[in-house]
Amino acid sequence: MALLPILEFPDPRLRTKAVPVDPARVADPAFQRLLDDMFETMYAAPGIGLAASQVDVHQRFMVIDVTEDKSRPLVFINPEITARAGEQVYQEGCLSVPGIFADVTRANEITVRALDRTGAPFELHVDGLLAVCIQHEMDHLEGRLFVDYLSPLKREMVRKKLAKQRRHAAA
Ligand code: NI
């Protein structure tokens, strides 16, 4: 397995709209290895979700594990939200926007349909943090980031803060 480089805001590649995965490709060893590498990269970060877009693969899939003991790794291939209800505000972060956290309002409950890593279809009805995480990762597949929900002024502050962090890291 290998750690993958994660694209960081404002990298324009994060704005790419991902294309559907060909279900016939899911069993390919290269695709399965990519899923393993994405889990390893996410756990090492550490993070609770990683969309393919963030590792510069612009196809519709993502990995998620919101547990503290890495006990529920979930793969969503070609995910679709079929129902949403309620509202919740959660202070989100993102591996592509390191060190930045901000409140985002999203649906509290969702029903999501996807293929798992064997290519089998499944449906989940979830709420709370897992619902937030699924919506956040699915935004990545549309080329959308959580900072897009902030005001333009706040987003510019985030961009400057990240540029400063990078200068310090390079120094
Ligand atoms: Ni993210």
* Grouped pLDDT means (10 residues each) for the chain, 171 residues: 94 98 97 98 97 98 97 98 98 96 97 98 98 98 97 94 90 75
Cα(16) to centroid(ligand 1), Å: 14
pLDDT at 138: 98
Cα(121) to centroid(ligand 1), Å: 24
pLDDT at 38: 98
pLDDT at 169: 87
Give me the catalytic one of 8, 137, 142, 156.
137
Q: Which residue has the tokens 């930045």?
A: 100
Using the 8-state DSSP alphabet, how is residue 21 labeled? P
CB 64 within 8 A of CB 135: no
pLDDT at 170: 82
pLDDT at 171: 75
Residues 47, 170: Cα–Cα separation, whole Å: 23
One-letter amino acid for residue 114 of the chain:
A
pLDDT at 40: 98
pLDDT at 121: 98
pLDDT at 70: 95
Cα(76) to centroid(ligand 1), Å: 15
Cα(93) to centroid(ligand 1), Å: 7
Distance from CA of residue 128 to its chain's centroid? 16
pTM, two decimals, is 0.96
Cα(8) to centroid(ligand 1), Å: 10
Residue 40 gets the label, from left (phi > 0), alpha (psi -120 to 50) or beta, of alpha
Is there a catalytic annotation at residue 68? no
Strand 121-127: give its sheet, edge to edge: 49-51, 61-64, 74-85, 109-115, 121-127
